[in-house]
Structure 1
Amino acid sequence: MMSFCHNVINISCEKSSWSNDVRASLYSLMVLIILTTVVGNLIVIISILHFKELHTPTNWLIYSMATVDFLLGCLVMPYSMVRSVEHCWYFGEVFCKIHTSTDIMLSSASIFHLSFISIDRYYAVCDPLRYKTKINILVIFVMIFIGWSIPALFAFGMIFLKLNFKGTEEMYYKYVHCIGGCSVFLSKTSGVLAFMTSFYIPGLIMLCVYCRIYFIAEGQARSIDANQKLQIGLEEKTRISQSRERKAAKTLGIVVGVFLTCWCPFFVCTVMDPFLDYTIPPTLNDALVWFGYLNSTFNPMVYAFFYPWFRRALRMILFGKICQKDSSRCKLFLESNP
C-alpha cells in the first residue's frame, strides 16, 4: 500500500515502500559510515591538537580538512540518513534549507582542502629548498580561509536565494516540489556551476599536481639509479629522497583515485540530470550522495593513518597514554619525513 509523508495526499511526497528488514539494513550501514567518519576524523583532530611535533603548517591544513569531515559526519549525515531511508523530511522547511546548504558547503570544503593539500605536497616534493618560504603558516591560513569561505558563500547563497532553480520555477513547483521532501533541484546553469566549482576545478588541480609529482619522482628515481655508482657517498641521502618522492606520489595517487571514485558518479549525474529532463531516479541520486560521503570517511585513513607517525599517535590515544604528563612532547617521527 502506498504511503505518504504528509496528510494532504495530493501535495505530499511519497514515503518509502521498503520493508522493515531493508530499512534496518540501510540504517545499520549508514550508522557504520557515520561512526567511522566521526571517529576517524576526531582521532586526526586530537592527534594534531595534542602532539606539539605535529604543529606544522601542513598538518594545520589536514586538521582543517578533518574538522570539515567531522562536522559533515555529525551535522549532515544523520539527517541525510533518515531522508534517504524514509524518503521523507521530518525536520521542517527552514531546517531543510540549512541542512542542504551545510551539506553542499562541507562536501565542497572537503574537496577544496584536498586540492590545497595536493598543492602543499607538490612544493614539498618538487621544490623542497624553498618549501618553507613558499608554504608558510600565513599561506596555509589563507588556504583554510578560502577552503571554508567560498563553499559557504556558494552553498548558502545558492539555496537561500533560490538560485538553484532560477529560470525553472514553474516546472519545479508544478512537477517536482512536494510537502515532506528535502531534495536539491538544480537548473542547467546551477548544475554546471556546481559541477565546475565543487568538483571539476579542484579535481583538475589534484590530477595535474599528481601527474607532475609522479613524473618528477620517476625522473629523479631514474637519474639516481643511473648515477648510483658515481655517488657512493650520497647513497643513503639519495635513497631517502627517492623513497620520500615515491611515497608522496603514491599517497597523492591514492587520494586522487579515492576522490574520483567517490565523487565522480554523483557530480556527473548532477550535471547531466537537467539535460536529461530529470529522468535520473531520486533513489540513485541519493545512493550516489552517500558514495560521495565515503570520501570524508576515507580521508583520515588516506591522509593520516597512511603515515607511521599518525599510527603511533593513534596507539597512544587508544591506550590513554595522552593523559600522561608531557605526552604532548612525545616523539612521533622516528625517521626523516617530508
Structure 2
Amino acid sequence: MDLSEQQTVHYCSDSGNASCFREIRATSVCVILYLISGAVVMITIAGNLVVIISISHFKQLHTPTNLLVLSLAVADLLVGAIVMPFTVIQSIETCWDFGHIFCFFYTFCLVLLTSASVNNLVLIAVDRYFALCDPFFYSSKITNNLTLLLILFSWIIALCYTVAVVYFKVNLEDAEGFNKCSNNCLFVLSPAWGLIDLMVSFLLPCFAMLCLYTRIFFVVKKHIRAIHSVTAQVGANNGKQKVASFSERKAAKTLGIVVIVFFICWVPYHICTIIDSYMDYSVPSLLMYIFSWLIYINSGMNPIIYALFYPWFKKSSKLIITLKICSHASSLINLFSESH
C-alpha cells in the first residue's frame, strides 16, 4: 500500500524530495481552467489597450485626469501581459518551470506594477479632490505637464519601494513551515516587512483615498443642493457651466467606483498575507492563489467600469475596432455629446 502511494507522487523536477509536488489534474479540468484564465488575461490586455489608445490618440481626452487614467491603464496592461500569464501556468500546473532568474523578474514586475497602480489611484483621488473642491486652483495650476511630472514621480517611488521590498525579501530557508521546495516562485515577506508592506502599499493609500472621496462626496452633495435651489433662476446661458459641473461629478463617481472595486479586490489578499506570516505560512496555497487572482482581476475591471459609465470610452472603442482612427484628422473627432 505504501509503495503504491509513493508511485503516485509526482514532482516538478527530477531532483526528488527537493522539488515541489506537482498536483495532477484531469485534462478536461486543465482545459477549462486555461480557457477561463486566458479569457481574463485577454480582457485585461484588450480593455486596457483600448484605454491607452483612446487617451493617447484623441486630443479631446488629453486632460490631467485622463493622463492619470492612462498611467493606471499602462500598469494594468503590463500586469495582464507580464504577470498574469505566468501566474496562470503556475496556478494550474502547481509548479514554476521558468527558473530562478525569471522568477526574480516576475516578482519584481509584480511588486512594481501593483505599487504603481496604488500610487496612480491616490493621484486620481487627489485630482478629483482639487477639481471639485477647489476648481479655481485646479483650472489654473493643474496642467498636463504638471500631471506628467507627478506620474513620473509616482513611478519612481514605486520603483524605489520595489527595490527595497525585493532586497529585504525573507529568506525562505529561515521561514519555518514554509514550503522550501526548489520549484516554487511565491513572494513571501517576513512578518515585519509584511506589516510594513501592508501599511505603505495598502492602509496609508486607502486611508488617503477614503478621506479624499469622503470630502468629495459631501462637496458633491452641497453642489447638488445648490444647483437645485437655483434651477428656476438659471438661464440658458449657464448651460455649459451646468454640463461641466455634471461632468466633474460623474468623473468623481466613476473613479470612486474604481477605488471601491480596488478595496474589494485587495482587502482579502492583505488580510490573508498578514495571517499567513504569523501562522508559519500555513494558509493553504489555493486560498493565496484565489486572493492573488482577485488582485489581477482588478486590473481587468477598470476598463469595464469605464465602458459602463464613460460614453467617450464606448465611442472611442467603436472607432478603434472599426479602424476609423486611421483616417485623417481622426484625433480631432468629438467624443462628447452635449449631455456629457
Establish whether TM, by shorter chain, passes 0.5.
Answer: yes
Residue of structure 2 aligned with 1:171, choices 168, 175, 182 = 175
Q: Is the 8 A contact 2:173 2:180 kept in 1?
A: no
Q: Which amino acid aligns with 2:187?
A: V
Q: Which residue of 1 aligns with 2:29?
A: 22
Q: Distance in 1 between matches of 2:111 and 2:153?
A: 15
Q: Which residue of 1 aligns with 2:3?
A: none
Q: Which residue of 2 aligns with 1:84?
A: 91
Sort the Cα spacing of 1:223 and 1:57 in 2 relative to 1 into closer, same or farther, 3 A.
closer
1:330 matched to 2:333:
yes
1:4 matched to 2:11:
yes
1:34-86 residue CA offsets vs partner (Å, 9 max, x unmatched):
10010001111111221122222222222121111111111111111111111
Bigger mean CA deviation after superposition, 117-126 or 131-140: 131-140
Q: Distance in 2 between matches of 1:255 and 1:175?
A: 35
Q: CA deviation at 1:249?
A: 4.1
Q: Is the 8 A contact 2:125 2:209 kept in 1?
A: yes
The percent of aligned pairs where both chains have the same amino acid is 39
Q: Distance in 2 between matches of 1:70 and 1:221?
A: 36
Q: Distance in 1 between matches of 2:278 and 2:330?
A: 57
Q: Which residue of 2 aligns with 1:269?
A: 272
Q: Which runs of 5+ in 2 are unaligned?
A: 1-7
Q: Distance in 2 between matches of 1:210 and 1:124?
A: 12
Q: Distance in 2 between matches of 1:55 and 1:292?
A: 28
Q: Is the 8 A contact 2:178 2:282 kept in 1?
A: no
Q: Distance in 2 between matches of 1:141 and 1:248?
A: 19
Give the RMSD, CA atoms, in angstroms.
2.2
1:315-334 residue CA offsets vs partner (Å, 9 max, x unmatched):
11111111111111111123
Q: Which residue of 1 aligns with 2:48?
A: 41
Q: Distance in 1 between matches of 2:101 and 2:139?
A: 46
Sort the Cα spacing of 1:106 and 1:280 in 2 relative to 1 into closer, same or farther, 3 A.
same
**What is the SS of the residue equivalent to 1:177?**
coil
Mapping for residues 1-338 of structure 1, pairs under 5 Å: 1-159=8-166, 161=167, 163-165=168-170, 169-171=173-175, 175-229=178-232, 231-233=233-235, 236=239, 239-240=242-243, 243-244=246-247, 246-303=249-306, 306-335=309-338
Q: Distance in 2 between matches of 1:35 and 1:6?
A: 30
The total of aligned residue pairs comes to 332
Q: Distance in 2 between matches of 1:220 and 1:56?
A: 23
Sort the Cα spacing of 1:175 and 1:209 in 2 relative to 1 into closer, same or farther, 3 A.
closer
Q: Which amino acid aligns with 1:136?
A: T
Q: Distance in 2 between matches of 1:289 and 1:175?
A: 18
Bigger mean CA deviation after superposition, 250-259 or 74-83: 250-259
Length-normalised TM-score, structure 2: 0.90
Q: CA deviation at 1:228?
A: 3.7
